[in-house]
Chain A
Amino acid sequence: MTQQQTAGPPSAGHADLAEEFLDRQTPLSRIRNLLHRYPALSPAIVLLIAVVVFGILNERFLRVENLSLITQQVAVVGTLAIAQTLIILTAGIDLSVGAVMILSSMVIAQLAVSNGVPGPLALVAGLAVGLAAGALNGFLVTRFRLPPFIVTLGTLNIFVALTLLYSGGSTVRGSAMPGVLTWLGSTFPIGPVRISTGVVMMLLLYVVVAFILGKTAWGRHVYAVGDDKEAARLAGIPVSRVLMSVYLAAGAVLAVGAWIQIGRTNAASPNAGVDLNLDSITAVVIGGTSLFGGRGSIWGSLLGALIVGVFRNGLSLAGLDVLYQTLAVGVLIIVAVSIDQWIRKVKS
């Protein structure tokens, strides 16, 4: 019995006395059930502890400018993590998110700068690139039944190559672009804090995706497909269609990520974001979403991205070498997945 049931209506109490007796709760199992029910809880605790510890280690850490900087640093990874979460929730994985984002950003920048396409139209073209990339991934996963890992490993290389072929390897600087392309790099003041529009855009995406995942049938189907594909199919969910739509949605999110990336770096570079593919997976995993699918929350991924940002920033403020940041992130990943495994043992 879960905590909820024992605390539930008295009528539930006498129903299965014997079972309740067998399932005696220890404090540890209570914690596990709680983490199980709220997957974003453990990353939230980690983030809180990290912020407190780094705040004690270095008083500069908790300054508003520094915290604002951290959010700007995680805006791109945080956005890619949205796309990654959607795919990981279906028990997939997308190694190509960073490559798709860069390809999309190059198309946006090149069209606007070299071909004189108006800014908004270039953004629409970038969206089309994201959707096309998602469609390719989704098509290969649903039609040829290839494992997402293999599909996206392949398309990762394809998209990287396409990006270099298309751009000729050259960077497009932000100063040459129409204002709308770099708009997400601008900031506006709220009181003493300067807020980046890119961060606001990322948060907006989180709100929208959280709503869709939590409040619509489609969102529930995404979880169901990741949880148990066969069960979902037997329950009458069009599994292939759901998977396809997930890859398309991820592609659309990545196109917005491309826009944020252009604003953030004030450029479109074909060589940027090599690490972003794995960084997005890191954020999702640390955020408590299970790589086995069907379990997790989109907010956890935001927390995961923030945790990585906070660790990198905090450790460098503490005067530690960059290598220790990478080391710390590595440890975090392994701890996060271990916790996930432990949580999944609830009543298996």
Chain B
Amino acid sequence: MTMTEFAASHTPTREPILKARNLVKTFGRVVGLDGVSLDLYPGEVLAVIGDNGAGKSTLIKCLTGAEIPDTGELFVSGQQVHFKRPQDARVHGIETVYQNLAVSPALDVASNLFLGREERLPGLLGSVFRMLDTKGMRRKAKEELTRLGISTLQDVTVPVENLSGGQRQAVAVARAAAFGSKVVVLDEPTAALGVRESNQVLQLVRDLRDRGLPVILISHNMPHVFDVADRIHIQRLGKCAATITPQSHSMTDAVAIMTGAAKA
């Protein structure tokens, strides 16, 4: 029973939401990515791990439009795409939470959720006077937070800088996961957080997956990765060294593959 379930959810015949093939990215003489492929299936958490300089960040930047790969192909829901800017990736439903959090500290939670996609009032007030629908956005922000199961943010009118690190991360994740996105990419979401706050964020990641939203998680933290990931993509020296699961390999194995001490 469990075996069939496992097989059903990981059979390669299913169409990946995000598919990368042979991505190559060089910076002058430095090879950042050396032909990397990656598949992200619906409803899974795919962790990307690797040592510093292994090409994690470059891979993620190529997937999210922050860098343009030299060669290689990218598909979203089977359709080939060419991202030139982060905006392009966003249009295709790929939302990224960056390590430095990309939230505007002085703006409140609702404003941050809608930053860059503000909604205007209906009628003349909106079309002629360009007035924002502040109330509507606050209401929708609350709805989105409830829908995503984020309980730590009750008051959407609080400036983000008044929030704790975990709450800020929740705002950033909520913004990425809200408004019909297809893929959420989290870059080191727990790096700056304490134990309790890290657990909140990991729970958030699980909740997103349970709602069917696939997540790519970049992390240095092996316990966190093994805690939430369904599959683990190990980058080494610009290539994908292996793709493993927490069931098939131990943390020690993963580190060994990552550092080159063991072959996959």
* A interface with B by C-beta (< 8 Å): 1-2, 4-5, 8-9, 11-12, 15-16, 18-19, 33, 36-37, 211, 215-218, 220-221, 223-224, 227-228, 230-232, 234-237, 294-295, 346-348
Contact = CB atoms under 8 A, between A and B. Distances in A.
B105 interface: yes
A215 B98 contact: no
Contact of B104 (A8, A227, A348): A227
B117 interface: yes
Given A220-B111, A234-B86, A294 B155 contact: no
Contacts of A348: 161
Interface of B: 86-87, 90, 96, 98, 100-107, 111-112, 115-118, 120, 129-132, 134, 151-152, 154-155, 157-159, 161-164, 175, 196
Contact of A224 (B98, B100, B104, B162): B104
B116 A237 contact: yes
A274 B131 CA distance: 38
* 8 smallest beta-carbon distances between A and B, as pairs: A236-B116, A217-B118, A234-B102, A12-B154, A235-B116, A235-B115, A231-B102, A224-B104
Nearest to A13: B154
Contacts of A215: 129-132, 134
Nearest to B86: A234
B86 A15 contact: no
Contacts of B98: 234
Nearest to A232: B104
A170 to B, nearest CB: 43
A271 B179 CA distance: 56
B86 A5 contact: no
B104 A294 contact: yes
Contact of B152 (A9, A16, A218): A16
Contacts of B96: 234
B164 A16 contact: yes
A240 to B, nearest CB: 13
A223 B115 CA distance: 11
B154 A217 contact: no
Nearest to A10: B154
Contacts, number: 101
Contacts of A19: 164
Given A11-B154, A33-B162, A216-B130, 12 more contacts: A4-B158, A8-B154, A9-B155, A12-B155, A224-B104, A227-B104, A227-B106, A234-B86, A237-B115, A294-B104, A347-B162, A347-B163
Contact of B87 (A9, A16, A37, A236): A236
Contacts of A235: 102, 104, 112, 115-116, 175
Contacts of A231: 100-104
Contacts of B175: 235
Nearest to B175: A235
B161 A230 contact: no
B115 A224 contact: yes
B154 A230 contact: no
A8 B155 contact: yes
A227 B162 contact: no
B158 A236 contact: no
B107 A224 contact: yes
21 contacts: A4-B155, A4-B157, A5-B154, A15-B152, A215-B129, A220-B118, A223-B106, A227-B106, A227-B107, A228-B102, A230-B102, A231-B100, A231-B101, A231-B104, A235-B102, A235-B104, A235-B115, A236-B90, A347-B161, A347-B162, A347-B163
A236 to B, nearest CB: 4
A199 to B, nearest CB: 25
Given A218-B130, A223-B106, A37 B159 contact: yes
Nearest to A237: B116
A346 B134 CA distance: 25
Nearest to A216: B130
Given A216-B131, A234-B86, A228 B155 contact: no
Contacts of B101: 231
Nearest to A217: B118
B150 to A, nearest CB: 11
A15 B152 CA distance: 6
A33 B162 CA distance: 9
Nearest to A228: B104
A2 B196 CA distance: 21
Nearest to A5: B155
Nearest to A37: B159
Contact of A217 (B112, B132, B157, B162): B132
